[in-house]
Amino acid sequence: MTPPTESHLHLDVPKEKQPRHVAIIMDGNGRWAERQELPRIRGHQQGAKQVRVVTEECARLGIEQLTLYCLSSENWKRPAEELEFLMFLLSEYLTQERETLMENNIRLEIIGRRDRIPNDVQSVMDETLATTSSNTGTCLCMAINYGGRAEIVDATRRITEKVISGELKTEDICEELVSEHLYTAGMSDPDLLIRTAGEMRISNYLLWQISYAEMWVTDKMWPEFAVADFHQAIVNFSNRNRRFGGLNS
């Protein structure tokens, strides 16, 4: 684990008021690089470093799950050179971070469609998934080639197939059943959704799961998002009154 620094000051938030599950839209890698007059790939490299920082802090705080929007299904519209580098960076991260994940008792999960992901990258994904599968601490869930609408479509298809085969009846379909057929089956819904780079949209991310998530947006780009910013988001969350459609107690 990263040695304590000024950024790792005590977080004065009771455990029961911390989010169990944090989801992050990591936006602004390319814009950060452009502001530094650097190639866009340098922004992605720095962004990968911040993934480690925030993941380790989640483990230190005992947060149950961190879900990161790593590559959306719409990101394939980007230049081929950038996409090729992103695949390289993903493979490199999953290989180099195995030791860190094991040291911090972090279990990896990956959600999204596997099509379009190169076979060699899939092999690295599977090896890291297997290596960390018995860890019992924070779950690091990486959304790769992920789209919220596609996830709901895939769940609908699986449910429909079961209805056609007679395994399910239409009257069996309910919110719980739909949740069980999403990529995130068995996971809790996010309590806190963080978005960097100041954008005020959810970009097709966890559309079903964030129905009651608290949102926190910062103007900071992902490569400059530090532990202190993460703490600020958690403190802000702890002061929210989450009514879930009801009234104040």
Q: What is the pLDDT of residues 79-95, one digit of tens each?
A: 889 899 999 999 999 99
Indicate whether 125 belongs to any domain.
Answer: yes
Indicate whether 9 belongs to any domain.
Answer: no
Task: Tell me which residue of 44, 26, 60, 4 sits closest to 217, measured CA to CA.
Answer: 26
- pLDDT tens string, the chain, 249 residues long: the values are 444 444 455 798 999 999 999 999 999 999 999 999 999 999 999 999 999 999 999 999 999 999 999 999 988 888 889 899 999 999 999 999 999 999 999 999 999 999 999 999 999 999 999 999 999 999 999 999 999 999 999 999 999 999 999 999 999 999 999 999 999 999 999 999 999 999 999 999 999 999 999 999 999 999 999 999 999 999 999 999 887 666 665
Indicate whether 155 belongs to any domain.
Answer: no
Number of domains the chain contains: 1
Indicate the pairing of strand 214-217 with strand 192-195: parallel
Indicate whether 168 belongs to any domain.
Answer: no
Domain carrying residue 24: 17-147+190-238
The CATH number for 90's domain is 3.40.1180.10
Q: Which amino acid is at 133?
A: S
pLDDT tens digit string along 101-118?
A: 999 999 999 999 999 999
Per-residue model confidence (pLDDT) at position 74: 87
Catalytic center residues: 27, 75
Indicate whether 5 belongs to any domain.
Answer: no
Instruction: Provide CB contacts within 8 A for 109, sequence distance 6+.
Output: 129, 139, 140, 141, 142, 187
Indicate the pairing of strand 107-111 with strand 214-217: unpaired
